Amino acid sequence: MDTSRYVEEVEEVRRGLGLDDFVLYGHSWGGMLAIDYALTHQQHLRGLVISNMAASMRAFEMRTAALRRQLLTPADLSTMLALEAAGRYDDPEYQRILTLLYSKMLCRTVPWPESFTRSLRHANLAIYTQMFGPNEFVVTGNQKDWDRWGELHRIKVKTLTIGAQWDEMDPEDMKKMAALMPNARAVICPTGSHLCMWDDQAFYFEHLLEFLRSL
């Protein structure tokens, strides 16, 4: 996936606001964009936060495949895989299993925060499908081949990677990313998931604020 257009849109905003020596925060797909921005324009950054995003889509696919083997019963896993093979993503049984998984790996807060459910209601699914795929377990979109593992060493700016125990991004990948960057460290939220700023909130913000103060 070529993110150059999106990177330059961020740069246009930076120039328009007259920002320099600023901190860039990116969560999930925003973490992809933050990585690519830093690889292109890190001279403008004081710090970088990569929240809940691994350095390749392949790493993400491996993690979600492992998570559903761990979290589902053998019957549900078999059903889900069969429905995927048939392309029946809207099948009520598929949606039931998907919702169960999302409650464990996207956001473990019960009920989900209103801001999260509101964002889902207003999501542009056509763009999501084009860029990503039909859901978080089937990656068929134009970002499928995105991979920056081999370039992370070029990010010299002070960086924090944030992951979580139940995140759809492997916490070991978040640690590996920090190890590959010369001025980075990783924080793993012990009880959170992909939205650990909600379901492991105190831990998440304690360490995020500590990093920001260190800059």
Single-letter code of the amino acid located at 109: T
How far apart are alpha carbons 189 and 50 in whole angstroms? Answer: 14
Residue with tokens 């700023």: 197
Is residue 153 within 8 A of residue 175, CB to CB? The reply is no
Single-letter code of the amino acid located at 60: F
How far apart are alpha carbons 11 and 182 in whole angstroms? Answer: 24
Would you call 194 a catalytic residue per the annotation?
yes
Is residue 70 within 8 A of residue 62, CB to CB? The reply is no
Would you call 167 a catalytic residue per the annotation?
yes
Determine if the peptide bond prior to 171 is cis (ω within 30°). no
How far apart are alpha carbons 7 and 34 in whole angstroms? Answer: 8
Choosing from 167, 170, 199, 200, the catalytic residue is 167
Following DSSP, what letter does each residue of 100-162 receive, concatenated? HHHHHHT---SSPPHHHHHHHHT--HHHHHHHT-SBTTB--STTTT-B-GGGGGG--SEEEEE
Choosing from 27, 28, 44, 200, the catalytic residue is 28
Which residue numbers are catalytic?
28, 167, 194
